[in-house]
A and B are shown apart, each in its own frame.
Chain A
Amino acid sequence: MSHRGAASGAPVREFHMEIFGVPSALLGSQLLVGLINGSFYAILSLGLAIIFGLLNIINFAHGAQYMMGAFVAWIALTKFGINYWVSLLLAPIVVGALGVVIERTMLRRLYKLDHLYGLLLTFGLALIFEGIFRDQYGISGQSYEVPELLQGGVNLGFMFLPIYRAWIVVAALTVCFGTWFMIEKTKLGSYLRAGTENPQMVQALGINVPLLITFTYGYGVALAAFAGVLAAPVYQVNPLMGSNLIIVVFAVVVIGGMGSIMGSIVTGLGLGLIEGLTRVFYPEGSAVVVFIIMVIVLLVRPAGLFGKT
Chain B
Amino acid sequence: MQNKKLTTLACAAAFAALSGAANAQISGDTVKVGVLTDLSGTYSDLAGAGAVLATQMAIDDFMAEAKPAFKVEMVSADHQNKADIASNKAREWFEREGVDVATELVTTSTALAVMKIAKEMNRVALMSGPASTPITNEQCNDVTVHYTYDTYALANGTARAVTKQGGDTWYFLTADYAFGQALERDSSAVVTANGGKVLGSVRHPFPASDFSSFLLQAQASGAKIIGLANAGADTTNAIKQAAEFGITPKQALAGLLMFISDVHSLGLKNTQGMYLTTGFYWDLNDDTRAWSKRFFEKQNRMPTMVQAGQYSSVLHYLRAVQAIGSDDSAKVMTQMKKTPINDFFAKDGQIREDGRMVHDMYLVQVKKPEESKYPWDYYHVRQVIPAAEAFQPLSESRCPLIKN
Judged by a CB distance under 8 angstroms, whether A162 is at the interface is yes
List the A side residues contacting B244 at CB < 8 Å. Answer: 146, 153, 162, 164-165, 234
Q: Which of these, B48, B200, B264, contacts A3 with CB under 8 Å?
A: B200
CB <8 Å contact, A240 and B208: no
Residue of B nearest to A282 (CB): B203
* Mask of A88-112 contacts with B, CB within 8 angstroms, 1/0: 0000000000000000000000000
CB <8 Å contact, B213 and A280: yes
CB <8 Å contact, A6 and B199: yes
Complex: A140 Cα to B46 Cα, angstroms = 9
CB <8 Å contact, A33 and B199: no
* Mask of B233-249 contacts with A, CB within 8 angstroms, 1/0: 10011001100111000
Q: A139-B42, A236-B233 are in contact. Are A283 and B202 (CB under 8 A)?
A: yes
* Mask of A219-251 contacts with B, CB within 8 angstroms, 1/0: 000000000000000111010110011000000
CB <8 Å contact, A26 and B217: yes
Report the minimum CB–CB distance from A103 to chain B (whole Å): 28
CB <8 Å contact, B205 and A142: no
List the A side residues contacting B241 at CB < 8 Å. Answer: 234
CB <8 Å contact, A143 and B267: yes
Residue of B nearest to A140 (CB): B265
List the B side residues contacting A7 at CB < 8 Å. Answer: 200, 217, 220-221
Report the minimum CB–CB distance from B50 to chain A (whole Å): 10
CB <8 Å contact, B209 and A235: yes
Judged by a CB distance under 8 angstroms, whether A147 is at the interface is no
Residue with the highest number of chain B CB atoms closer than 10 Å, among A11, A235, A279: A279
Q: A6-B221, A26-B220 are in contact. Are A234 and B240 (CB under 8 A)?
A: yes
Report the minimum CB–CB distance from B115 to chain A (whole Å): 25
Judged by a CB distance under 8 angstroms, whether A141 is at the interface is yes
* Mask of A137-165 contacts with B, CB within 8 angstroms, 1/0: 01111110010000001000001101011
Please tell me the number of chain B residues within 8 Å of chain A, measured between CB atoms.
47
CB <8 Å contact, B216 and A30: yes
Residue with the highest number of chain B CB atoms closer than 10 Å, among A5, A25, A138, A159: A138
Complex: A7 Cα to B223 Cα, angstroms = 10
CB <8 Å contact, B220 and A245: no
CB <8 Å contact, B45 and A140: yes
Complex: A142 Cα to B264 Cα, angstroms = 9
Q: Which of these, A23, A139, A236, A241, contacts B220 with CB under 8 Å?
A: A23
Judged by a CB distance under 8 angstroms, whether A197 is at the interface is no
Report the minimum CB–CB distance from B68 to chain A (whole Å): 35
Q: Chain B: interface secondary structure?
A: mixed
List the A side residues contacting B43 at CB < 8 Å. Answer: 139
List the A side residues contacting B176 at CB < 8 Å. Answer: 284
CB <8 Å contact, A138 and B233: no
Complex: A236 Cα to B267 Cα, angstroms = 11
Complex: A298 Cα to B164 Cα, angstroms = 54
CB <8 Å contact, A283 and B265: no
CB <8 Å contact, B44 and A139: yes
Residue of B nearest to A37 (CB): B210
Report the minimum CB–CB distance from A38 to chain B (whole Å): 11
Residue of A nearest to B236 (CB): A236
Q: A139-B41, A236-B240 are in contact. Are A26 and B216 (CB under 8 A)?
A: yes
CB <8 Å contact, B233 and A240: yes
List the B side residues contacting A10 at CB < 8 Å. Answer: 199-200, 220-223
Complex: A140 Cα to B267 Cα, angstroms = 11
Q: A138-B45, A283-B203 are in contact. Are A143 and B216 (CB under 8 A)?
A: no
Judged by a CB distance under 8 angstroms, whether B40 is at the interface is yes
Q: A2-B201, A140-B233, A241-B209 are in contact. Are A160 and B221 (CB under 8 A)?
A: no
Q: Which of these, A36, A141, A238, A245, contacts B212 with CB under 8 Å?
A: A36
List the B side residues contacting A159 at CB < 8 Å. Answer: 216
* Mask of B26-62 contacts with A, CB within 8 angstroms, 1/0: 0000000000000011111110100000000000000
Residues on A facing B (Cβ under 8 Å): 2-3, 5-7, 9-13, 23, 25-26, 29-30, 33-34, 36-37, 131, 134, 138-143, 146, 153, 159-160, 162, 164-165, 234-236, 238, 240-241, 244-245, 276, 279-280, 283-284, 286-287
Residues on B facing A (Cβ under 8 Å): 40-46, 48, 171, 176, 199-205, 207-210, 212-214, 216-217, 220-223, 232-233, 236-237, 240-241, 244-246, 261-262, 264-267, 270, 301
List of 3 A-B pairs having minimum Cβ-Cβ separation, nearest first? A6-B200, A12-B222, A287-B205
Besides the known contacts A26-B220, A138-B261, 18 further A-B residue pairs in the complex with CB atoms under 8 A apart: A2-B201, A10-B199, A10-B223, A29-B216, A30-B216, A134-B40, A139-B233, A141-B233, A153-B246, A162-B244, A165-B212, A234-B241, A236-B233, A236-B265, A236-B266, A283-B204, A283-B213, A286-B204
